[in-house]
Structure 1
Amino acid sequence: MFRVPFLVALTLCVAFGGGIAVSISALKASTGFGSIRLGPWIAYPNAQTADTDPYAKAHRARAGRLLYGKAEGMRFTAETDDTGRLLSGACRYDIVGNTPPARFWTLFATDSADRPLTASETLPVALNAWSVLREADTSFVIHVAPDAQADNWLAVTEPRRFRLVLTLLDAPTANSSGAIELVMPKITARGCGHA
């Protein structure tokens, strides 16, 4: 007597539960389609536009974050160095080169849930176009390390995986297909642990 209603209820629970779990994992997995990859740096130039795919719209709504308009800026993230190894807070890295042309840029580190990493109030957890020290040819070297470094230092003190976020604001190539031709700074590993 109760067998059929029980099986129907069980089927509905599995279907709804499975559908919700798959939807949440899809939203966590990606910002959407249409990414561009420049070395280890990845950007989603269409994620902020009206033409974006439904996954990117849902990701944006779930995160509750206001994104830049296509002509305002572009956000690049890197989870690996130039050799493809995942970034780890137990290692030291050098970010070498130049940013693409932009009126202003920022660089900081986040955890895997996209929350900015915080050290103490006295350590540099972010750099920008106005605070970075440059070489004579306008290039820069930014040291990403848990211990103090000379010149440009980005402190990542937690020994776990992290990602780098480079945001270009008011970049002339943000609203064109020329983003694929940009040259991004290189991320080079300098050793892990006390090496």
Structure 2
Amino acid sequence: MWLLKAEIANTSTKNGAWSYNPHVGSKDASGLTRAAVAVIGFLGLAKEESIYFIANKDDNNDLLSGACSYKVTGMISPDDARWWSITVYDTNTNKLIKNPQNHYSFNGDNIEKMQNSSFVFHISANKKAGNWLPIQKDPQFDLTLRMYNPSKTSSEQIATLDLPKISKESCP
């Protein structure tokens, strides 16, 4: 498993806390990249149809941990992508992190936005006011940002897109 994750990481473009692998969804993907996509669980639509970003660290380059609380802030406009989502996964199992609320992601339709269309949400094992993604206290986790039907500009400027910021709020 670590070899497959390393393949994705080693062939990725970084943008803040987020990584993007240009080979996911490409007919030019190596056998190892295709295996990683199959194991990690991406559907892997064609590059023209979607862009997948993964974050396993915050903006300070610290691993994302269920023991900590985080704030994710940003704005993804319809000009950037027709639809987007950010989902939380257990790093070790690549599965959704079970929680009593059965709430695993935010997207452009279900997140409460501010007047300027930006958003803020919290990731924490402890309940937070407003937009909150519940997690368990022990696992490390990853975030996956999916942008469907991205604009040509978004697709061509991966390294400079203004992606959501991931900041640690508290940690024991």
Question: Shorter chain as normaliser: what TM range?
Answer: 0.7 to 0.9
The size of the alignment, in residue pairs, is: 169
Of Structure 1 and Structure 2, the greater helix share is in 1
* Superposed displacement of residue 131, structure 1: 0.7
Of Structure 1 and Structure 2, the greater strand share is in 2
Q: Residues 91 and 180 (structure 1 numbering): CA distance in 2 closer, same or farther, change over 3 Å?
A: same
* Superposed displacement of residue 62, structure 1: 4.8
CA distance in 2, matches of 1:187, 1:50: 31
Q: Does 1:187 align with 2:166?
A: yes
Do the aligned residues in 1 keep the contact of 2:154 with 2:161 (CA within 8 Å)? Answer: no
Q: Does 1:76 align with 2:53?
A: yes
Letter in 2 for 1:145: S
- Map 1:46-195 to 2 at 5 A: 46-62=23-39, 66-99=43-76, 101-112=80-91, 113-120=93-100, 122-173=101-152, 176-193=155-172
Q: Residues 63 and 89 (structure 1 numbering): CA distance in 2 closer, same or farther, change over 3 Å?
A: closer
CA distance in 2, matches of 1:25, 1:161: 15
Q: After superposition, what is the alpha-carbon deviation per residue over 1:100-136, rounded to whole angstroms, capped at 9, x for unaligned?
A: 611111111111232121212x253221110111111
CA distance in 1, matches of 2:42, 2:104: 21
Q: Which has the larger radius of gyration?
A: 1
Which ranges of structure 2 fall in alignment gaps of 5 or more residues?
A: none
3-state SS of the aligned residue for 1:170?
A: strand
Which ranges of structure 1 fall in alignment gaps of 5 or more residues?
A: 1-23
CA distance in 2, matches of 1:99, 1:27: 29
3-state SS of the aligned residue for 1:93?
A: strand
3-state SS of the aligned residue for 1:124?
A: coil
Tell me how large the CA RMSD over aligned residues is: 2.2
Q: Does 1:31 align with 2:31?
A: no
* Superposed displacement of residue 72, structure 1: 0.9
Q: Residues 30 and 140 (structure 1 numbering): CA distance in 2 closer, same or farther, change over 3 Å?
A: same
Q: Residues 68 and 150 (structure 1 numbering): CA distance in 2 closer, same or farther, change over 3 Å?
A: same
* Superposed displacement of residue 176, structure 1: 3.7
Q: Taking every aligned residue pair, what percent have the same amino acid on both sides?
A: 28
TM-score (norm 2): 0.87
